[in-house]
Amino acid sequence: MNQQVFAALAEALARGESVALVTIVSANGSTPQRVGAKMLVYADGRTVGTIGGGCYENDAFWKAREILKTGKSQLVRYELNDDFAEESGLICGGQMEVHIDPIEPAPRLYVIGAGHVGYHLARMASEVGFSIHVVDDREKFASADRFPTAAEIVVDDIGEWLARAELPDSSYVVVVTRGHRHDLDALRALAPKDLRYLGLIGSRAKIARIADALTADGMPAEELRRVHAPIGLDIGAVSPAEIAVSILAEMIAVRYGKVDRPGATAGPMKWDRLGAPR
């Protein structure tokens, strides 16, 4: 059975799909499955394998679905001789611990803008496991010479390409273009998407102007709240390389649940009803 789980896991990662792996890591007394039994849980509710069935497997299933959202591993203990187990008729008289681990493919980072910050960010992010995708309308900047580790380099109109593109929900997207118009076009296409991370570079005044323009276009406030802006952790960064470090640090923090993910109730940035940051 575990061979099927491992095969399904490899296929999911090859497709760029996140899954949760549920594993029995300890068992005492009489339990339906042995240590090492595994179950794979997909975001859409599909499963492969089993940890023994019953209410505890159902409980682990729902915990796995939630962990796929939070990205945080969890160790769960089950007493199989209590009322919880009685509901399923599995009065085994044992105890077991189940580890639930979210497993993600190499996260995709879309660098929208191939200028100085984008260059440094792509180089650093590739070293910590991000799959780099670069988008710019300037072939001189968006080139294999400047981005040798990129899995994809797109030379196209930024707004038009983003409007057509189908980005995975697990994507990290950083908008670091060279101008206000490109930033506005990018946010218009990206903010409605439910992405793992969406960040916009710029001063608070610039961000406020973009937010006002998008609000005037009818963009809902909840979509604006998904944007990390100003982008990056506040480390006093000044140079392009330092700014790239601050952005990468924030993305890593989001990846491991240390910073609110886009779409959280509070949101990475507080916006007033007109869309301006406060």
Give pLDDT tens digits for 99-114. 999 998 888 999 999 9
CATH code, 222: 3.40.50.720
Q: Which residues contact 194 (CB under 8 A, 6 or more apart)?
A: 169, 226, 262, 263
Answer yes or no: is pLDDT of 31 > 80: no
Other beta carbons less than 10 A from residue 39's beta carbon: 26
d(CA 71, CA 74): 10
Domain co-membership, 134 together with 16: no
In a shared domain, residues 118 and 230: yes
Evaluate whether 163 touches 193 at the Cβ level (below 8 Å).
Answer: no
Boundary-marking domain end, from 43, 69, 103: 103
- Per the structure, the count of domains in the chain is 2
Instruction: pLDDT band for 156, please (50, 70, 90 cuts).
Output: very high
Structure token pair of residue 121: 């960010």
Q: Residue 263 is encoded by which pair of tokens?
A: 């779409």
Phi, psi of 59 (to 5 degrees): -65, -45
The span from the CA of 178 to the CA of 116, in Å, is: 10
pLDDT at 80: 73
Indicate whether 133 and 178 sit together in one domain.
yes
Enter the DSSP assignment of 31. Answer: -
Residue 223: predicted pLDDT: 92
| 119 shares its domain with 183 | yes
Burial group, residue 108, by CB count within 10 angstroms (0-12, 13-18, 19+): buried
| Domain co-membership, 95 together with 125 | no
148 and 84 belong to one structural domain: no
pLDDT at position 56: 83
Q: In what order do the strands lie in the sheet with 197-200?
A: 152-155, 131-136, 108-112, 172-175, 197-200
- Distance between CA atoms of residues 84 and 182, nearest Å: 56
The pLDDT of 127-147, averaged and rounded, is: 97
Mean pLDDT of 35-59: 91
CA 98/CA 83 separation, integer angstroms: 18
Q: Is the pLDDT of residue 30 over 90?
A: no
Residue 214 lies in a domain: yes
pLDDT at residue 2 tops 90: no
pLDDT at 15: 82
Domain range for 75:
2-103
Same domain, 165 and 209: yes
Helices (H), 15-109: 54-70, 83-86
202 and 125 within one domain: yes
DSSP classification of residue 54: H
pLDDT classification of 27: cutoffs 50, 70, 90: confident
Predicted confidence (pLDDT) at residue 222 exceeds the cutoff of 80: yes
Residue with tokens 């061979």: 3
